[in-house]
Chains A and B, each alone.
Chain A
Amino acid sequence: SQKIEQNSEALNIQEGKTATLTCNYTNYSPAYLQWYRQDPGRGPVFLLLIRENEKEKRKERLKVTFDTTLKQSLFHITASQPADSATYLCALMKTSYDKVIFGPGTSLSVIP
């Protein structure tokens, strides 16, 4: 069955540094990979989507890479701020109208 793994430990980084979160998957060939942010008690918020034929995508301080050979995506937040503290979820999708499979999430804390 499909399996998605994200950083098993919570990630603590100093303000201003770059945070790098990892998403690995097995037994799956997604056409799309998404990243979401979730704050406590709230629903996830969509951040970025990258397609299988794209190597990298950027949006302001966010950068996502997608390596279909390694079956891995990296999510970077540059110049991190305490307001970036949240849980970040990666999600996979085969087609535009398919269900989305979410990873367990990684908790990020940015320390002032």
Chain B
Amino acid sequence: SQTIHQWPATLVQPVGSPLSLECTVEGTSNPNLYWYRQAAGRGLQLLFYSVGIGQISSEVPQNLSASRPQDRQFILSSKKLLLSDSGFYLCAWSPGTNAQYFGPGTRLTVL
């Protein structure tokens, strides 16, 4: 069966520091991969999605970037965090059957 992992589960970072969040999927190949952010009490905001290695589409201009170095690995990065980057970051994968399957999320607090 397929599983999706995200780490870390929680993170507290100072403004201006770098960020790296990792997501990996097991048990499938060539999945679509997604990064979302959810601010407190708000809906899901799609940040990036990828349909293959090295193929990244950005939805919202910001100081974040994403990379897909391997088929089942998706990384979200920032060189300098802003206060507004705080939120709940969710990685998801889709097998092409339209449903999306989410990871456990990373709670990021920027101070």
A84 to B104 alpha-carbon distance, docked (Å): 20
A104 to B45 alpha-carbon distance, docked (Å): 10
Whether A97 and B104, one on each chain, are in contact in the complex, defined by CB atoms closer than 8 angstroms, is no
Tell me which of B12-20, B68-76, B79-87, B93-101 binds A.
B93-101
Interface positions of A from 10 to 62, Cβ below 8 Å from B: 32, 34, 36, 41-46, 49
Q: Chain A: interface secondary structure?
A: strand
Q: Chain B: interface secondary structure?
A: strand
Whether B43 and A105, one on each chain, are in contact in the complex, defined by CB atoms closer than 8 angstroms, is yes
As a 0/1 sequence over residues 29 to 52 of chain B, the CB contacts with chain A under 8 angstroms (1 = contact) are 000101010000011101001010
Best-surrounded residue of A91, A97, A99, A101 (most CB of chain B within 10 A): A99
Instruction: Tell me the smallest distance from the CB of B72 to a CB of chain A, in Å.
Output: 17
Q: How many residues of A contact B (CB 8 A)?
A: 22
Whether A89 and B44, one on each chain, are in contact in the complex, defined by CB atoms closer than 8 angstroms, is yes
Residues of A whose CB lies within 8 Å of any CB of B are 32, 34, 36, 41-46, 49, 89, 91, 93, 96-97, 99-105
Residues of B whose CB lies within 8 Å of any CB of A are 32, 34, 36, 42-44, 46, 49, 51, 57, 59, 88, 90, 92, 94, 96-105, 107
What are 19 A-B residue pairs whose CB atoms fall within 8 Å in the complex? A32-B98, A36-B100, A41-B88, A41-B105, A44-B90, A44-B102, A46-B99, A46-B100, A49-B98, A89-B43, A97-B32, A97-B96, A99-B46, A99-B49, A99-B59, A100-B46, A100-B94, A101-B46, A102-B36
